[in-house]
A and B are shown apart, each in its own frame.
Chain A
Amino acid sequence: MTKKKEKMFGGKESSWKPLLHIYKTVQIPWALIILVVLLSFGSQWVSVQLVEYTSKIDTGTMTAGSFMVGYVVFSLISILIENGYDLANTLGNAKMARNVRKKLWGKMLRLPVSTYEKEEPQRLVSRITKDATFAYGALTSVIQVVSVVYGLVIAMIPVVKIFGAYAWIVAVIVPVLVVCSLAAGKIQYRLDRMINGAYSKMTNFYSERLPNITYIKTNNMEREEYEKGLKISDEKYRADILYKILFALQLPLQSLANYIGLVFLLITASAMVRDGRITPVQMKELMLYFNIVMADATLFLGIWMNVKASHGGCEKIGEINAAKEEDSQGTGLVSGQEDIVFDHVSYGYTEDKLVLSDASFTIPKGKITAIVGENGSGKSTITRLLERFDEPASGEIRIGAQSLSELDLGRWRQQLGYVFQGNQMIQGTVRDNLTYGVMGDYSDEELTRAAEDAQAYAFIMEKEEQFETPLQVFDTEFSGGQLQRLAIARAFMKNPDYLIMDEATNGVDLMKEVEIISCMKEKMKDKTVVLISHNMDLVKDMDHIVVIKDGCVEAEGTPEEVSKASATYREFLGKAAS
């Protein structure tokens, strides 16, 4: 299983398509976005109105009466507008994120299984939780360009009225501001990447070891792991402080334009005050307007940053959103009473290494077919092809007369029961799990019966909450063998036309395995079963046997036929018996 796992998502210089695709396919909260824009106009307007009052208060020239009323009224308006703006903005973001999340989750559920093998599934969690929040920024930012420009203009007009030359100062400062902000943004981006890299390296280290502390202890590796931990921790520390130092150093760069403007303003305006050309109150007004202008200019630059953030943050989810879903075009239906035929089927993770090469065999209807072969010979690939988790590279799988790839995917999977090795429980109670495949109603008798047949009833009843015992995906109070039996019970509940058991009884002791198989035979009477097992005592009693060796079919037929034709089978039987 040394298949190459190429990342399906990521890599390559990014295009804008993914982001635009999200905007095209996800519902955008326009009402809130329009409200945000209106409020941002209001906020620009009110902050200019307030200058008159603040400048007087700040210079001790305020009066009571109408001045105070005006101050209170505008302050209250400002409070409402500013907070309303924040509310509308955060709400808009949350709503957009919600819409993106819903869309993504629906999409993820319908991606082909092979996608999940290329992309670590747990990584996709943060695509939904975190990345989805980036979709909103670009939208509002772009629209807000208008209100920011409006703000710049209405703050500049009074300034130029008081102090004509000031326009020139701004003309000089703005390019400085642009250059500095871009530089600072670039530095910030690098810093973020560096710190995120160090963080994820550290988290990876710990998250791999923390579930395995006992393993570390039994190998006496505590000291070595402690040392390694110190090293990783130190790397993170160095990245941390480097980040903080560089971050601090680029701060003056960010405010350089501000400082230049301020110094210029202070020098020229104070000279004008000394000459008596303007009053100190007007100087204060100039400074306040200057603040608004600078704030708007920064906002203006921030727009590009926000757009970039949306672009970068949504790159992956945009690709997922645009990725091809599992093929659900097929409309073919089968009765469940057909032979399954593999007709020259090849499959490989890479071109040159085939897991299954030119395999032809039949899984006869109404019988139990055992597939035998060494570890890694391609047995499980057969079951995955049957589930249509993967599609054959060449050749065809037929159910009766129809090609498997032309069947209605949902209906086909509904007809299949699939038990494999390992924890297959989903979150929920034991009952939720056992009835996961049941579409209609069921009785408690049926549930009990399925649990009994899978030799699971006794240990379920031992639990305090019995069928209502909660199951977790990662930590569970059931042993491996018990989980295996729950999965079998679930397949029994589903009552499928075709049952695939891929090392389904691993971890179950021999007595119970024998019981389970005999119940399975009873339950699946006249139905079709595919059984993969290393237990030759079981295999040799099956109706039909297919022997796989290095991805090729070595033999198929009844046990007698196979033991004549297949050396591998004879070796297996021999080794098992001796």
Chain B
Amino acid sequence: MKEQVPDASMAVKGEKVKDRGLWRKFFHLIRLAKIPYIGLAIYFLISLSTVYVAVRLPQVESDVFTGNASVENIAWVIAVELASSLVAVVMIASMGIIGGRIDRNFRNAIWQKILRLEPKYFDGVSANSLLSRMTDDAESMKDFIMLILSEITGITTTVATITAMSTMNKGLAVIMVIFIPVYIFFGFLVGRIKMRVGNNVKYKMAGLTNYLSGQLARITVIKAFNREAYEQKRGEEAIRDYYIAQRREQVADFLQYTIASVIHMVPDVILLLAGVYMLERNALTPAGWIVFYAYANQLFTFFSDKISLWINVKTYQGHMNRLSELFSAPEEGIKAYIQEEVSSGDIVFDGVSFSYGDQAIFTDASFTFPKNAFTAIFGPSGTGKTTILKLIERIYEPQEGRILQNGHDIRDYKLESWRKKFSYVKQDTPMISGTIRDNVLYGVDEEVSDEQIMEAAREVRAEGFIMECPGGLDYEVGQFGDKLSGGQRQKLSILRAFLQKREYILLDEPTASLDVVSVREVMESIRELIGKRTIILVAHDDKLIRDASHIIVVEDDARVYEGTAQEVGRVSGFFRDIMHAGGKEDMA
């Protein structure tokens, strides 16, 4: 299992959120939760019985403790105690079911949204922060909704209690009510301090986790450079920082709880003195006092809880803001499409400009990928060759100009039908936990037999290692495919592209990790597809492009040339240099 690394930004940025729009966002998000209203209604009906018990129990108990320990009274107390524990069981269980449902619904809604987002959304976002959207944020939204639900019950109880108190003894009730604002004020004050101290702890923890997970991923580098002692010192610093933050929080907790308890003593003592005074003058019966004091304690408890509520609301707000930002991000493929069916044809870049932020990749570039031909995109590393593939796949959209296929702007095609035309072999080849078979059949629509897989495997020289794996095609590749080597993953990725049998094959440096023999065989298999499929290959190795009938060179200065090897050799300095360095002057 890969441990989740909390993003450090989460802890820090959480506090910088604006208070405004909290409820608007809340109601927008709450629709996604598809709250089970019937379950909720039942829950509320049951919870009303707890309100009744909270008001009634002190009355009976006061009767008992002022001398009327009658069998009926005792029986009532016992019955109520048992009944409330049963009610608690039902309430906790139903709360759990409702909460679990809300949690699941949020999670599913987020997952769906993430799958629909425009791919460029993921450029600036780390996978870890997405994971915390799926887990922490979803759960926190559930907690928030559940908190509001339980607060509603709490408030009902409180109102009922205060009402009961004021009918019993106005004077004492007034003393109680006067202190409520003091409690709330203190709560907000402490809440703010606590949040700051608490955030610091989270921040330091995130820092420690980040440091550890980064360093553990590079343990070979640390060892190769003999820097264990240095890293130990750095690690100890992060550990100490976290400890200091923790210590500060714990001292703050101590002060907060101590002060809160001492503050609580004030109304308590005033109430007691007033009680003694009234009892002595018979303005209050002992029974009346017992009930009243029990109510007062209920109220104190209710309001002292509000300190933590304030902190929680702030945290929820952070989670909520991140979620609503996610949900307002644009999705792809929602624009109306004109063409459902995609025919085959040349792909033409017509005056296309594209830039990442300020960095222009190419401006007003025009070139063509002829149908059923083998086109190579060639150029120094870092010039945006991969970007061309991404533009074709509609992972990015050009900022200016059009990409045409068969005369249609590719944006006019239904996105799904369009992508179905392509197989894409990436430079870094992702795998997902599962068997080799699962992975090579990923995105393959038709039924493929094991024999067919192995036949294709032979072409990419993958047969040997598949056979050697225990279980062959049933071999589990591990998380991210990390039980396979880079070269093996790359071969499987090419194998998958062959099995997908799609019309266009996009290859992004497909042989970077392969040995010469494997490269040869893979390229041979690719060559066999010339004339049957449209092949587009990105490479900076001159040997791969020898079979290409059409070459596109992207230069360092963002200039783009196209044509046959001879044609581009005439205009592109880079191309000439490479061919020269590779000792292949005869080609030009």
Contact = CB atoms under 8 A, between A and B. Distances in A.
B272 A71 contact: yes
A225 B253 contact: no
A208 B276 contact: no
Contact of B540 (A245, A414, A509): A509
A161 interface: no
Interface in B390-417: 393, 395, 416
Contacts of B285: 60
B348 interface: no
B581 A426 contact: no
A534 B290 contact: no
User: Would you list the 7 A-B pairs with minimal beta carbon distance, nearest first?
Assistant: A244-B96, A60-B286, A219-B443, A211-B127, A240-B100, A509-B540, A270-B69
Interface string B252-281: 011001100110010011001101110100
A165 B96 CA distance: 42
A255 B103 CA distance: 29
B495 interface: no
Interface string B356-396: 00000000000000000000000111100000000001010
A12 interface: no
Contacts of A221: 442-443
A266 B290 CA distance: 18
Contacts of B73: 270
Given A259-B85, A480-B427, A206 B515 contact: no
Given A230-B108, A243-B96, A511-B380, A373 B515 contact: yes
Nearest to A116: B219
Interface stretch (B128-136, B159-167, B306-314, B563-571): B128-136
B216 A108 contact: yes
A210 B212 CA distance: 22
Contacts of A267: 74, 78
B419 A217 contact: yes
A436 interface: yes
Interface residues of B, number: 162
Nearest to B284: A60
B483 A2 contact: yes
A213 B380 CA distance: 27
Contacts of A60: 62, 65-66, 275, 279, 285-290, 293
Contacts of B484: 1
A326 B433 CA distance: 32
A231 B420 CA distance: 25
22 contacts: A2-B470, A64-B273, A68-B272, A68-B273, A87-B250, A124-B216, A128-B208, A206-B130, A217-B419, A220-B420, A226-B112, A248-B89, A270-B64, A274-B70, A413-B225, A422-B486, A427-B215, A436-B225, A474-B128, A474-B217, A509-B379, A571-B517
Given A62-B272, A472-B214, A83 B257 contact: yes
Interface in B457-505: 465, 468-470, 475, 479-480, 483-488, 500
Contacts of B513: 375, 421, 503, 506
B228 A200 contact: no
Interface in A130-145: none
B432 to A, nearest CB: 5
Contacts of B183: none
Contacts of A123: 1-3
B232 A106 contact: yes
Contacts of B442: 219, 221
B516 A98 contact: no
B384 to A, nearest CB: 11
A437 B225 contact: yes
Q: Tell me whether chain B's interface is mostly helix, strand or loop, or mixed.
A: helix
A122 B382 contact: no
A105 B217 contact: no
A426 B227 CA distance: 12
Interface of A: 1-2, 5, 57-64, 68, 71-72, 75-76, 79-80, 83-84, 86-87, 90-91, 94-95, 97-98, 101-102, 105-106, 108-110, 113, 116, 120-126, 128-129, 200, 202-204, 206-222, 225-226, 229-230, 233-234, 236-237, 240-241, 243-245, 247-249, 251-252, 255, 259, 262-263, 266-267, 269-271, 273-274, 280-281, 283-284, 326, 373-376, 387, 389, 410, 413-414, 416, 418, 421-422, 424-427, 436-437, 459, 472-475, 479-482, 494, 503, 506-512, 514, 534, 536-537, 571-572, 575-576
B88 A76 contact: no
A57 B297 CA distance: 12
B34 interface: no
Given A267-B74, A374-B517, A510 B225 contact: no
Contacts of B99: 240, 244
Contacts of A237: 100-101, 103-104
A175 B165 CA distance: 42
B78 A1 contact: no
Contacts of B231: 109
A240 B419 CA distance: 38
Given A248-B96, A537-B582, A220 B416 contact: yes
Nearest to B120: A214
B235 interface: yes
B152 to A, nearest CB: 20
A575 B515 CA distance: 10
Contact of A1 (B101, B239, B488): B488
B25 interface: no
A210 B257 contact: no
Contact of B85 (A244, A252, A481): A252
A480 B130 contact: no
Contacts of A101: 239
Nearest to A413: B226
B104 A234 contact: yes
A76 B262 contact: yes
B30 interface: no
A273 B67 contact: yes
Contact of B86 (A214, A217, A252, A508): A252
Given A214-B122, A494-B225, 10 more contacts: A57-B272, A108-B216, A209-B432, A215-B426, A218-B424, A236-B107, A273-B69, A280-B66, A427-B210, A474-B126
B257 to A, nearest CB: 5
A437 B224 CA distance: 9
A507 B93 contact: no
A331 to B, nearest CB: 16
Given A210-B131, A241-B96, A375 B250 contact: no
B66 A229 contact: no
Given A208-B479, A472-B214, A459 B382 contact: yes
B562 interface: no
B2 A204 contact: yes
Contacts of B432: 208-209, 212
Nearest to A509: B540
Contacts of A387: 220, 223-224
Contacts of B272: 57, 62, 68, 71
A221 B381 CA distance: 30
